[in-house]
Chain A
Amino acid sequence: MNIVDTVEKDLIVVPVKSSDKEGVLNELVERLCEVKHFSKPGIVEAVLEREALGSTAIGNGVAVPHCKTDLVTGVNLVIGISQRMIAYDNNEVRIFFLVVANENESTSHVKLLSSIARFCSSAVLRNLLASSKTPEEVYLTINN
C-alpha cells in the first residue's frame, strides 16, 4: 500500500479553511467522515490522543497526523494544503497527511506512512504540493 494507490481526489482539501492545528485536524476528519460515512467525534478524539503522545510535525512544513481506531475500515488518507503556514506545536505546517486506519491494518498502515515519508523527502514534490491550488493538482503531483 502506498500513497499513489491510496490517494483519492475527494479526500484532498485545498485550501484548508482553518488557521490553527486543531481546526485543520477537525476539518480533515470531517472530510473523511463525509466521504466515507464514518463517525466524526470518536475519530477526532483518536487523532488528538495520538497528538498528545508527541507532535506529528516532521519538518519542512509537513505534518503526518495519524491514528488507528475501530471506527474506520481500511486505511484512509486525507491530504490538506493550507495557503499559509499554520502553527503546529513548535513547527509551522502547510501540508497535512492525515492517516486513519483500522486497528487490524497495521501492516498496510506502516507501508502507507513509509510511502508518505519517502514522498515528503523530496523538496521538489513538497513545493509542488504546497503551491497546488486544486485537489486535481495535488492528485497529479502524487501520481506522477
Chain B
Amino acid sequence: MLFKNILVYVDNSESAIEAAMYAIILAQETGANLSVLYVVDTKSVSDLYKAHIFVDIERVDYERDLEKDADKYIRHIRKMALKKSLNIVTEIIKGNAPVEVDKFIKANSIDLLVLPKVSNIRSRREELTSDLDRILRTSKVPVLVVRADEEIWDRFDEGI
C-alpha cells in the first residue's frame, strides 16, 4: 500500500470541502486510513487582541464563533464520508495551523497530506503569511494539493 495514513487539512473554504471529497475517494480506493484536521486559529485571535484590534470580550466571542465554524465543517465532512461508508477520524484543534498540522502528522504517522488549493499569488506578502502556503512549504511528508474541479463533485457523487 502506497499510503497507510492520509491527513486532509481543512479550513472554512469551499476548496477545503473539495479537498476532503478527494481525500475520501482516495482513502476509499487505496484502503488507507483518513484523518481530517481543522485548526481553529486562536493564534490570530490572540494576535488581534495584542494589536488592540480586539478587546477582551471579542477574543472570547470570536473564538467561540471560530469553534462553531469548525464544528459545522467537520460535521459536513463526516456526513460526506458516511455517504461513502468510510470511517474517518476527525479532529478540531485550537492553535497555529502549520504547527498543529506538523504535530498531528508526527503523532499519527501520517504519510500523505492532502491540502485545499493554494491561492494564486497576488501578493508576495500574503503568500508568505498564508497558513496553507506555510503548511505546504514546511511539510515533512508528501503533499497532494487538490485543485478546484467540478469533476471531483461528479466523481464523489458516483455510486452514492
Report Cα–Cα, A143/B120, bound state, in Å. Answer: 13
Q: Do B45 and A110 touch (CB < 8 A)? A: yes
List B contacts of A9 (CB < 8 A).
none
List A contacts of B126 (CB < 8 A).
2-4, 115
Contact with A along B37-68 (1 / 0, CB 8 A): 00001001101100111110110001001101
Report Cα–Cα, A64/B55, bound state, in Å. Answer: 12
Judge if B103 is at the interface, Cβ distance under 8 Å. Answer: no
30 A-B contact pairs sorted by A residue (CB < 8 Å): A2-B123, A4-B122, A4-B123, A4-B126, A5-B119, A5-B122, A53-B58, A54-B52, A57-B52, A58-B53, A66-B53, A106-B62, A106-B66, A107-B65, A107-B66, A107-B69, A108-B12, A110-B48, A110-B62, A110-B66, A111-B44, A113-B44, A114-B44, A114-B47, A117-B48, A117-B51, A119-B125, A142-B123, A143-B122, A143-B123
Q: Do A53 and B55 touch (CB < 8 A)? A: yes
Majority SS of interface residues in chain A? helix
Q: Do A114 and B125 touch (CB < 8 A)? A: no
Count A/B pairs, Cβ under 8 Å.
65
Judge if A118 is at the interface, Cβ distance under 8 Å. Answer: yes
| Contact size range, B | 20 to 34
Most buried by A among B57, B66, B69, B123: B123
Report Cα–Cα, A126/B126, bound state, in Å. Answer: 16
Report Cα–Cα, A126/B51, bound state, in Å. Answer: 16
Given A108-B12, A143-B123; 20 other pairs, CB 8 A cutoff? A2-B126, A4-B123, A5-B119, A53-B55, A54-B55, A57-B52, A58-B51, A59-B52, A66-B53, A107-B11, A107-B41, A107-B66, A110-B45, A110-B62, A110-B66, A113-B44, A114-B48, A115-B129, A117-B53, A142-B123
Would you give the shortest CB distance from A103 to chain B, in whole angstroms? 8
Report Cα–Cα, A111/B65, bound state, in Å. Answer: 13
List A contacts of B66 (CB < 8 A).
106-107, 110
Find A144's partner among B12, B51, B123 (CB 8 Å cutoff): B123
Interface residues in A82-136 by Cβ distance below 8 A to B read 106-111, 113-119
Report Cα–Cα, A142/B122, bound state, in Å. Answer: 10
Judge if A56 is at the interface, Cβ distance under 8 Å. Answer: yes
Report Cα–Cα, A140/B58, bound state, in Å. Answer: 32
